[in-house]
Amino acid sequence: MNDNISQLLETIKGFTESRGFVTKQSIGLLDPRFGYPFSPSATHHIIDDIVCKNPLPQPVMKFSVIPDRSLRMYDIDKIGISNRHLSFFETIAFGYVGNSQQLPKEQACIEVFDLMLHLGIKPENLLVTCLKDVKAEGTEIDNKEDEIFFKTWSKLLGKERVKLTSGRRNLFYSRVIGNPGGTGCEIYHRIGDSYVEIGSQVNYKFKFTGGLERTSNAAVPEGFGLERLLMPLEGVKKVSDVSTVLPLKKCVRDYLRAKGEDDLTIDLYDESLTKIADSIRAISFIIMDTNGNIDSLTSSQSKLLRDFRKTLCSEKSEINYLGIYDSSIYRTLVDTSLATYNSRYPDMINHRQAVLDFITP
């Protein structure tokens, strides 16, 4: 696995453990959250039970899930077009959950700021948005707690780097009964001439019951997309060029170079290369999480898995005229994916053949 990834994850895990966060296990992709076929967000297997299912205040717990993984179906149409979207990605999350009156909101901001410094990220490249005001489900959302985040981030970054937003931008919830919701901050990093969201900080304090019901317990977790966090750390301007994705694109590029194509021509197909890489990663992780038994998937999960295969075949056919007809490219892609993730997910190798059988025409 790329040393940047290993080092990043070890650094973050060491940081959270030194601050007293308890590392929790990821539940993978198969436990649906927010009504989607696959889990789209980190830590909710911890947050949901305490915030939404416990009516009595609970002791505050500091927790981290490093790494977790997510599959966001609503990103699929943007893959290869947007420079910051992938359907499959890993997340890094840590924070507090328990009695809403006892959560240390200022400290939560300070810990995120300290982590950024610890990783070598310069504060002048960060931008944070906080909620100013919003009306949702017929309710005016009280922003007193959000003022805490705004004031704390303003002290840490300077007022010019913290922006207040009106409307739903900084309100996080899904309209699914029994799911949590809250207000919070989005954390951006300057990438080239623009800002890219690399993470968020959410004060989950509601349960959706058809409206937004305030809960006695709350959570203040911070989540960062690993691939997006790698962008500034590796100095790349496209999320598809980070070291968890680029090796897959590179093996197709190398194949095309061996066929005599020049880099300028290959660059024209970067969108297709990105979709190929994203599909291979998603398929590999879904099959791993089923323990190789894709027949155990629900009908909606199975359909989505087939959609990734369709995308893979479609994008491969887009560049077939350049000479990609050899099915060995599938083996190369799968083996490259395994090599990228093997040290963190050693069980993946056991499902190599299942992945190949699924994707090979």
Beta-carbon neighbour count of residue 275 at 10 Å?
Answer: 25
Amino acid occupying residue 9: L
CA dihedral 343, 17, 4, 352 (to 10 degrees): 20
Q: What's the confidence (pLDDT) of residue 82?
A: 86
> Which has the closest alpha carbon to 139: 168, 109, 161, 160?
168
With bands split at pLDDT 50, 70 and 90, how would you rate the model's confidence at 41? confident
> Which has the closest alpha carbon to 212: 123, 132, 140, 127?
140
Contacts of 13 (CB under 8 A, 6+ apart): 23, 64, 66
Which of 67-71, 109-113, 149-153 shows the lowest mean pLDDT across its residues? 67-71
Amino acid occupying residue 56: L
Contacts of 298 (CB under 8 A, 6+ apart): 37
pLDDT tens profile 209-265: 999 999 999 999 999 999 999 999 999 999 999 999 999 999 999 988 888 889 998
pLDDT tens profile 281-316: 999 999 999 999 999 999 999 999 999 999 888 888
Distance CA 197, CA 128 (A): 9
Q: Hey, where are the domains in the chain?
A: 3-233, 245-359
CATH number of the domain at 3-233, out of 3.40.1390.20, 3.30.930.10, 3.40.50.980, 3.30.2350.10? 3.30.930.10
Beta-carbon neighbour count of residue 117 at 10 Å?
Answer: 12
